[in-house]
């Protein structure tokens, strides 16, 4: 897939993995990038400035991906601005940190909030973007999680949402073939503000160190590592319906 002059939408593109993907897309020659955000407006605008420095034209667009009308408006704005859509990165995600045994804390509100962003958001975006991606013979990459493959992570509903997203990837790959490829990356623990915000810098650093000690590669995965896998899927013309674990090898051992 040739990315020079292409356009992309990255949900949750202002921070963490989304930001890293935006920057790698610009470095690869993508010309137009829609940086979606829900709450991180300042960070999204900062990412837009970084993309401009790399030669890309980017725009930060606020949209709650759990609301279908806002997702449709997001895609329409991208088409109006750039005239085509080649790449969709479904990266926006949310969670609640709930001990696995605390079933009473998993309320209907928690389920709806997590499934709305992590599962329905990618579904809404894929459906809205599908005609444009088909016209461009483009691709979708979903950012799922290792928590969707094994019972670990921030909470039970988070893991279930990512398991559903991983399986949705396979279904979309069938539904949108042959014009559009759809794949997913399943990161393990990633050193980002995802953990620093709720737990603080000191606790997050301790978690990073403990995670690195358990990992065969003796390092914590970074947003840039996950972006490498995303870019690999974009470049792989004969790969669709697949998922790739990015966790430094921690999941290969019992």
146: DSSP letter: G
| Backbone CA torsion sign across 236, 116, 197, 105 | negative
Tallying the residues shown for the chain, one arrives at 254
Is 158 an active-site residue? yes
When computed from its CA atoms, the radius of gyration of the chain, rounded to whole angstroms, is 17
Neighbours of 210 (CB within 10 A): 12
* Residues 106 and 156 sit within 8 Å (Cβ to Cβ): yes
Q: Can you read off the two tokens belonging to residue 34?
A: 């829609």
Q: Can you read off the two tokens belonging to residue 250?
A: 């921690």
Find the helix or strand (DSSP H, E) in which 176 lies. Answer: helix 156-176
Residue tagged active-site, from 37, 124, 158, 254: 158
Indicate which residues carry an active-site annotation: 158
């Amino acid at each position: 897939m040739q990315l020079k002059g292409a356009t992309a939408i990255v949900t949750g593109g202002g921070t963490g993995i989304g930001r890293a993907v935006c920057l790698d897309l610009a470095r690869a020659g993508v010309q137009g990038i829609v940086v979606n955000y829900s709450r991180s407006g300042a960070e999204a605008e900062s990412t837009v400035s970084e993309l401009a420095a790399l030669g890309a034209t980017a725009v930060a667009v606020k949209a709650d991906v759990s609301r279908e009308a806002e997702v449709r408006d997001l895609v329409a704005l991208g088409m109006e601005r750039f005239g085509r859509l080649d790449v969709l990165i479904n990266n926006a995600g949310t969670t609640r940190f709930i001990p696995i045994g605390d079933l009473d804390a998993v309320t209907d509100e928690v389920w709806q909030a997590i499934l709305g962003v992590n599962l329905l958001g990618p579904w809404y975006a894929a459906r809205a973007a599908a005609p444009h991606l088909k016209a461009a013979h483009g691709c979708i990459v979903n950012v799922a999680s290792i928590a969707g493959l094994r019972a670990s992570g921030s909470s039970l509903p988070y893991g279930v949402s990512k398991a559903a997203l991983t399986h949705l990837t396979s279904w979309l790959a069938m539904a949108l073939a042959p014009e559009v490829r759809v794949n997913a990356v399943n990161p393990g623990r990633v050193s980002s503000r995802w953990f620093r915000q709720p737990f603080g810098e000191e606790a997050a650093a301790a978690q990073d160190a403990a995670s690195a000690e358990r990992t065969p590669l003796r390092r914590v995965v970074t947003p840039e590592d996950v972006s490498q896998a995303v870019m690999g899927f974009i470049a792989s013309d004969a790969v669709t319906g697949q998922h790739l674990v990015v966790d430094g090898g921690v999941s290969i051992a019992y």
